[in-house]
Structures are given as C-alpha cells and as structure tokens.
Structure 1
Amino acid sequence: MSSMSLNHRRPEIPQQSGNYTPKPPQKPWSLTKPVEYLCREQRVMFVVIGMAIASVFFFLQPQFITTTVQLQKSSSGYQGSGIATRKQQHVGGVISPGAKLPLGLQRKSLRVVVTGGAGFVGSHLVDKLMARGDSVIVVDNFFTGRKENVMHHFGNPRFELIRHDVVEPLLLEVDQIYHLACPASPVHYKFNPVKTIISFSFFASTNVVGTLNMLGLAKRIGARFLLTSTSEVYGDPLQHPQKEEYWGNVNPIGVRSCYDEGKRTAETLTMDYHRGADVQVRIARIFNTYGPRMCIDDGRVVSNFVAQALRKEPLTVYGDGNQTRSFQYVSDLVDGLMRLMESEHVGPFNLGNPGEFTMLELAEVVKEVIDPHARIEFRENTADDPHKRKPDISKAKEMLGWEPKVSLRDGLPRMVEDFRGRIFGDRKETSESAV
C-alpha cells in the first residue's frame, strides 16, 4: 500500500494587479432618485401634512399659554401679585413679568422663608404664599407671634415651622426670603429696646445681627431678599405726604429710636449688600396696618380702640387727637409685598393707604362700627409721637401697579369680628378655669 502525502497548504490566490481602493468610485449626483423616493408611497403628502400641523401648533400657542395660566390662577386661588398674569418664564428661581411660559409647563413652586411668619402680617403672607402653591418655611421665636396664626397649615407637606431667633445664624436652601422678624408695636419694642435693636442692628464692627444673618444667607444661596422696613424711618416728618426720597426727621436718642434707628440701619445694610455683594434685595416701607390676628393689647391705635370699645372701656386718645395716620388693611399690604418681591425694582417703596385720619376721626369710625355710646378719654401724649403720617404711593402705583383697595370702613368690621371672638373667648375660658 503506497503512502499518500497530504498537503495542508491553501492554494495561493494571485494578487490582482493595480492599486487597492476601499471605496467604490463615486457616481455623479442626480436629482431623480430623491424625487423618486418622495413620490413613492405618498411621502410628499405626509410631509405637507406635518408642516401644516406644525404651523397650526405655533399659530395657536399664545392662546394655549393664556388658557393654561388662567387655569393655574383659578386652581390656586392666587390673585394680584402679577405672577403668571401674563406670558412669563422662570429665570433663576424668579418669575419675570413679561416673559413667555412654555406650553404645558406649570409655574415652578418656590421655597420661601418668612421670618416672623407667625406674627400678624407674616401669617397672612404665609397664607397667600401657600395658596399660590409655594413651599413655605416660617421662622419665629414667638416673642410677638402666635402659633395659632399658622396652625391651620400643620400637616401640609409644603409647610414647615422653625422656632428660632434670627439673631442666631440659620442655614436653609430657599429661593426667596421675606424678612419680617422684629417687634413692631410700641408695647413690644419698648418692653425690650435692646432686643429690638439687636433684631436689626448691633453697634459693633458687624453693625447688624438679625438682618445681617438673613442677608448673609441670601448671599450664600443666591436667594432674593425682601426687607420690611417702616414709615417710622421718617420720624416726625417735616415733609407731607412722605415720599421715598425724604430722609426723615428722627430723634436718635428718643424712646422710639430703638425701632426707628434699627430699621434705618437695616435699610443701610440691605443696600450695602446689594451694591457690594450683588444680592437681589427689595425694601418696603410699611405704614400703619390693621386686620385680623393683630395682638389685642399691642399699643397700636387701631387695636387699642377696637379692644377698648368691645370691652366697654373709654377710647384713650393721646394729646389733642389731631395727629394723623393712614391705615391699610393687611390683605392690601400682603399684595404689595408680593408684587415688590416679584418685580425688578429694589425700592424703597411706600406701602400704605393714602387715606388720612386724625385720631379723633378714627375713634368716631370705631364707635360707628362697634358702640355708638363709647366715650373718648384724653391722656398726655407720648414722647416723639409723629404729628402727621401719610404715604405718597405714586412710585408703587407706577412701578408695581399696586394701590390699596380696602377702605377703613370696609376693613374694620372684619377686624372687629376677629377681636370679638378672641376677647370674649378668652374671658369664657378664664371664667371656666376659675370654676
């Protein structure tokens, strides 16, 4: 048997002559193939239909935006701050008036901190912010605030309450800061004048404690900061009515100076942070405000008159009763604060009702509403009591589109109803506990 030799080699393929090219030679471009592709299976018709749908969408987009905004307003119950009342957009955590809100995009819920949020004005502001859909953090030490003012928000996941004094540092992550923390009534700020000063100014190298802490927070986290100042910065004014450009006539060593000078210093620091640290700030100068949830015995004239009339006590008028004040209802003030916060204007802005009343005229209005037989008792006037106080709100009208809507005769009965329930409710509880 002859042996067979096996050859495992592959037969070699002779290489083709010429240079190797990985790409085939390009054919000249022709218009016929794209046209044939579009004409097959009615593709041209679908392209035309798509263009028509896109045109209709962009043509009707403004109407869709308007409808969406109206639905958001009606569902949230929010009226009057200027947010989402026109085409708007969210930029840096703030809704800019006049910008465009994309279709189907709801307004972003903001995180807002309100210092002094359990107080009279603060609690009404919290109500409005919650109704708008924001998440609200209330910071209050309850020196003048009352937990009852915000208890109806307990259990809401968008609401937080922190017992804290603003003279101590606070770390939070928020978009906006409403700084209302300070005793505002004579009874409270005269009770502890040093505490009142510290709440807004501390005469040391840092110059401010309460406002400094909140401005420092605004700087660190990039939040917008609103300072609630006061008409007291005008002191006993030599200009009437008072405009924002007026520098005031304040006694720096008087019994009221702890409040007056504290607020003036807070305004100074706020503007320094704005100019030097580029913090977004807003300044509101608040004139006399009244309404439900005021402290019953806080020494302010409206609450004094209402409480005295309900208790059948004489209405105490200090001096001759010819000194004047202007009274705004709390809902008007809250509307003005929110408009200012959302605007692009720093201020300061006067927020008050230009309707001017003497103390005797106010006493007569209270008598009409509560007890026509109430009598008036005159007492010696207090030190540094301003003789006239009336805001010029032309700047707020022009730049914020804001002016008060509730007259004294319309707003006072709402306050009387709240006071009546609290005064006589307290008396009932006291009598029951005595038994």
Structure 2
Amino acid sequence: MRQVREMVLQFRNHPSIVIWSISNEPFFTRHAPEARALCNRLITLVKELDPTRPVCAGGGQRRNFDKLGDMAAFNGDGSHVKTPGRPSMVTEYGSVSCRRPGAYAPGWGDMKKDKEAGICYPWRVGEAVWCGFDHGSIWPSGGRMGIVDYFRIPKRAWYWYRNALRNIPPPEWPVEGTPAQVKLSADKKVISPADGTDDVHVTVKVADAAGRQISNAVPVTLTVVSGPGEFPTGKSITFTPGTDIDLIDGCAAIEFRSYYAGKTVIRASSPGLKGDSLQIVCRNAPAYVAGRSAETRERPYKRFSAKERDIQLARYGRPESGEKANLAVLRPCSASSGFQEAMRASDGDDVSAWHPSEEDKAPWWQLDMEFEFRLDRVEVKAAGSWKGPAPAVQVSRDGNSWKDIKAVLRKDGTELTAMCPEGTGARYVRIRLSPGQGIAEVAVWPADAS
C-alpha cells in the first residue's frame, strides 16, 4: 500500500502516464482470494489518489485477476483471452530472446496466429512488446529478451518495428568481407556538464578497404589516449568475439563518461587493421590536468559466477570473519504447505519459523542450494519443541534420488544435527516432519575443501 501510494504521488502529474497497474502476474500464489482482495484495495487507493486514469491488475491472465479494475491487462498467453465490451491490453508479448542481430521479425509470440490472420479486437487498446532492452537477469537467456542489446545496439527486430511504425526501411545488413580498418563514431561529441550524469555512446565498426561495414568478428580495443574520461572498465576496453564484451555483426558499442573538463582522444585498434580515433569535448567541470588530476583506475571485467562465488565461500569462508558459509541462508526453498512462508526457515533468523498447515499430514521442507557441494552437517532448529518422532534429514544430487542422513535429536526436542558421511555431495536438502512440527531455522555447513 505504501509503495503504490508513493508511485502514484510521484508520477501522477506526468502526461505520459495513461494507465495505472498495481501488479504483474499476481496469480502466482496459493492464496488467490487474498491476492485478489489486496489488488482491490490497491485499485481503490489509486483511484483515491488519481481519479483521472483507469487502473488495472497487470498480468492478470489467469484466476480472474483480469476482472479487477477498469480494464484487463494480459501477458503472453493472455493475448488469447477475449473480453468483448471490456477494454483490455496486452502488456507483454514476445519475445525476441536472442543475441544480436537476430531475425528481422516482430517476435509476436502468442499473438502470432492472430496477427498473421489479421485479427484485431476492437476492445483491445494496445499491445506492448516484452521488452525494449536486454537487461540483467539471474536467468541467463532471460536477460536477452530485448529488441535492443545490452550495449544499446539495435537488433534486427528493432528495425522491423521502425519500418512498420515509421515507414523507415531497414539498412542493408553487413556481410562477410575482408577486414581492412575499424571506424569510430559517437552519438555526440560534447559532454556537459561532465559530472558523471551524462555519457557518450561510442560505436566501433569493422570495415573493408572501401569503408563499408562488414560482419567479420575481430578483436578491437578502445583506448583513452589523452585527456579525461573513462569506460566502464577504465581507460580501455577490449571487444573480443564470443565473450560477454563481444563484437557482433561487425559492430560493438560502449558508454564513455568524464568527471573532468577537457579534450579526450579515443583510439580504436585491431591487430593488422587500420585504426581510427575521435575527440570528445567535456565541459562545465573542474579542468583535467595530466599528472595532477586523479586518474581512472583500471577495472578489468570479470564475469560474475554465482557458482564460483559459492564455492569460494564454502572453501574459505567469509573474508571478514573467516567463518564457513551457511549454505542454507536465503537459498530457494519449498514446502509441502505454507509455501510462501518456507523462506522463514532459512532466513538466518531463529525467531521467524515455517509451520505446515493443520491439514498437512506429511509435511516436508526442502532446500535448493543451487549448486552441488560437499557437506559436513545439517542442523535444524525446531519451532518450539518437536513432539513425536524426530524429523528425518535427506540429501540429493538431482532432487529425485534421496539419501537419508542419520540425525541426532537433542533431549529437549528443540534441535537436531545430521552429520554427513565423508564425501557426501548434494544440491538439495529435505527435512521430513510429523504433522504439526515446524522449523525455526536450517543450517547447512560445507565440508573442508581439499
């Protein structure tokens, strides 16, 4: 309620806002009636704060969320939901889901058949592609759903939309050729003020001897030869085909910014090819003086790997304390009931707890550590005191085949410890309980790595 209030008060004077949405796919819950009730409260709040615009429950394609508010809003498969006489909008469709350049096509997704058949619903107010730009995501391919890539270079789908909506024909696509040179360009040549709030989009292209862009993939390095300014990686950046910082279809781009005033010369080079350079002028900032002004430190890019991070934590512990990492804290987890409270058993807080429902006759709680680790022990604290049989501890590599780990229960029934045999490797941990038994906290400790 507080967040929606803040959203409306912050943006209600913006003329670009035409519809308010108070949710996205709220049907992903085991508590649909409660979720619909909350959505109705939010819709009422929005109407009190701004009675001039319609309000919807976005992504409401299932479980009757589309019937809330002034109109229906659908994602993906919801594009097939018919609402005659009631305004509706497809708030997500697609997506392109590819690395640049991709296909010269709109990526209609679930709307493809309707579009090809020329079907147009008179009650539909509009459709929005998901999404505009590639973005960061813990789901690797899920971040590449844009029609413009991470480096803000358009994919071919972007040119399709530009042609369809603005009648601008697409450019001639580059083809393989003989690389002879690299060419630099920028969307502007002046940064003002040079205070880190603005940047220049620098583009480098591979060209043949005649200056035509070709699609060849070659390594290219951009370097700040003189003057102030920096790339995300420091004073230089190298585009290497096949990496996260790559050169695709003969083209790459990056941002450049400065915190000082002065003239900066950027040079592009590639082994065996003719280079190029351009000048960026930075204004309205302290003057850059070589040898006296603070220089940009190099920040070489290193691909983030959650697996490598967690292996290091398991092996060496936390740098600030040296203690081993509890592999259960804030990891994905599930349960036989009370699913939305399952995280309370692995949130690092002994006060919060997960309890199965009264109807749950065979309760269990399960942890996904996301990667496989060699384990030392599993510790489980009770929510109160366990009555009846002690909970059972199981581990699994694949989530299908489970191995029981012998557990020792404290006499007062408040805690148990399961010591893992040497060499035990697992990704999943499952605790099987008796009806009514709850869990305050689970800790999974890694074995010493060799």
- Shorter-chain TM-score tier: under 0.3
Give the number of the structure whose residues are more often strand, by fraction: 2
Greater relative CO, 1 or 2 (CA 8 Å, sep 6+) = 1
Larger-gyration structure (1/2): 1
* TM-score of the two chains, using structure 1 as the length reference: 0.27
* TM-score of the two chains, using structure 2 as the length reference: 0.26
Give the number of the structure whose residues are more often helix, by fraction: 1
